[in-house]
Amino acid sequence: MEINRVRQILSSSADIDVEYQGAAVWIDDISEDGLTATVHLRGPLEQRTIVPVRDLHEIS
């Protein structure tokens, strides 16, 4: 995913479906350099993980 789209998703009030390695995730934040994002799985687990932005995929 491109960094500009990640920024749009973060600023949106809409529920936008995003996946990382086949798992549905919420994007919590992006790094200052725009190369990584902090995400957590959708659901009861709140464990956060830092992942490459390029590996995030929007589900249409």
In this prediction the pTM is 0.88
Residue 29 identity: D
Instruction: CATH number of the domain at 28, please.
Output: 2.30.30
Residues in the chain: 60
Q: CA 28, CA 11: separation in Å to the nearest integer?
A: 11
Can you give the pLDDT at residue 43?
Answer: 78
pLDDT in tens, 2-55: 999 999 999 999 999 999 999 999 999 999 999 999 999 987 777 899 999 999
Give CA 9 to chain center in angstroms: 8
The domain containing residue 50 runs over which residues? 3-58
How many structural domains comprise the chain?
A: 1
